[in-house]
Amino acid sequence: MSRGRLLVVTAIAAVCVGSLVLVATLGGGDGAPAPRRDVTVSTSIATSPVFFGDLVTARAEVLVDRGRIDPDDVRIEGGFAPYSLIGRPRESRTDSGRLTSIDVRYTLQCLVEACLPKPGGIALPKLRVRSGSSTVSADWPRIDVVSRIAPAALAIDPPPWRQQIALPAASYRLEPGKFAAALTLAAALLALGAFALLGREVVRRRRLLVDRARFRSALARALDLARASAARGPDDRRRALALLARVLAFDPNGGRRLAPAAARLAWGRSEPSTTGLETLVDEIERTVRVR
């Protein structure tokens, strides 16, 4: 075969191969190749490795053959423990030919001890996709959590912390020992003052009781003399009423207001009658308690 014919055959073969590849790629002009299964699931973690406490974006993509399954009947289920879901998932759908792509993105975060860096990363529960009576499961990629502290820094004892972890020395406006002694002294002085006030009140109360006792004794004698004078002459009644008026004038209770009545009856122009004397004595005894 000549060189020219070889070139022609090679060109024809290249055109045929290119045509076959183009037909296979276009898939007969329907827009996308039909999936091998009714539902196909793929998962991915947007960022890995991550630091402890960082937000993690997890993505699930579900391809559904609309010729076999209604995309509205597809349910995507699954948890993310020990991670927690932050906010609501973001879902989007795209149709291409007979296929519907359901794209769901989850924002995750973990602040518990289970999410500390560990060999092999952190595994999430399986993702389950239900469509009617069938269920398809898919594994999430492991989340690789790395330490915020370099291994070289961890090897130093103690580690070179950026933050101050030692408690600063306590400072006081007043020295605690002297302040406590001053408070103790003040408490002792207050206690002494309280005892002094209590003693003064006891003495005052005692004197008051003694004065009342003396008054009641003097009033009782004056009342006895007034009653006894009722059977004697006017002069004796005047002297008894005069004594009764003087005693009542020092009454610390309510008898003091009766002293003028006793004085008027004693020194009035008319002689004090027996009835008036007895009436006054009865009123005094009702007003003033006499032992």
The phi and psi torsions of 100 (rounded to 5 degrees) equal -120, 125
116 in the same domain as 60: yes
Confidence band (pLDDT; 50, 70, 90) for 252?
A: low
Question: Which DSSP symbol is given to 229?
Answer: H
Residue 9 resides in a domain: no
Reply yes or no on whether the pLDDT at 54 is more than 60: yes
Residue 190's pLDDT is what? 94
Reply yes or no on whether the pLDDT at 178 is more than 60: yes
Say which amino acid occupies 275.
T
Residue 6 resides in a domain: no
Give every CB contact of residue 283 below 8 A, 6+ residues apart in sequence: 258
Determine the Cα–Cα distance for residues 103 and 46; give it in Å rounded to an integer: 13
198 in the same domain as 142: no
Q: 36 by DSSP, 3-state: which? A: coil
Residue 30 resides in a domain: no
Reply yes or no on whether the pLDDT at 186 is more than 60: yes
Reply yes or no on whether the pLDDT at 11 is more than 60: no
Reply yes or no on whether the pLDDT at 43 is more than 70: yes
Residue 25 resides in a domain: no
Average pLDDT, the chain: 80
**Structurally, how many domains does the chain consist of?**
2
Residue 110's pLDDT is what? 92
Residue 183's pLDDT is what? 92
Residue 69 CB burial class (10 angstroms; 0-12, 13-18, ≥19):
middle
The pLDDT tens digits for 69-106 are 888 889 999 899 999 999 999 999 999 888 999 999 99
pTM of the entire predicted model: 0.45
Residue 91's pLDDT is what? 93
State the alpha helices, DSSP H only, in 88-162.
151-154
Q: Residue 118's domain spans which residues?
A: 39-146
Q: 145 by DSSP, 3-state: which? A: strand
CATH number, domain containing residue 67: 2.60.40.740
Confidence band (pLDDT; 50, 70, 90) for 29?
A: very low
Determine the Cα–Cα distance for residues 141 and 83; give it in Å rounded to an integer: 14
- Rounded to whole angstroms, what are the CA distances from 275 to 216, 220, 237, 282? 24, 20, 11, 11
Confidence band (pLDDT; 50, 70, 90) for 269?
A: confident
Contact 175, 211 (CB under 8 A): no
135-144, 161-170, 172-181: which has the minimum mean pLDDT? 161-170
185 in the same domain as 87: no
For the chain, what percent of residues have pLDDT higher than 90? 30
Contact 32, 64 (CB under 8 A): no
Determine the Cα–Cα distance for residues 102 and 107; give it in Å rounded to an integer: 17
Residue 160's pLDDT is what? 65
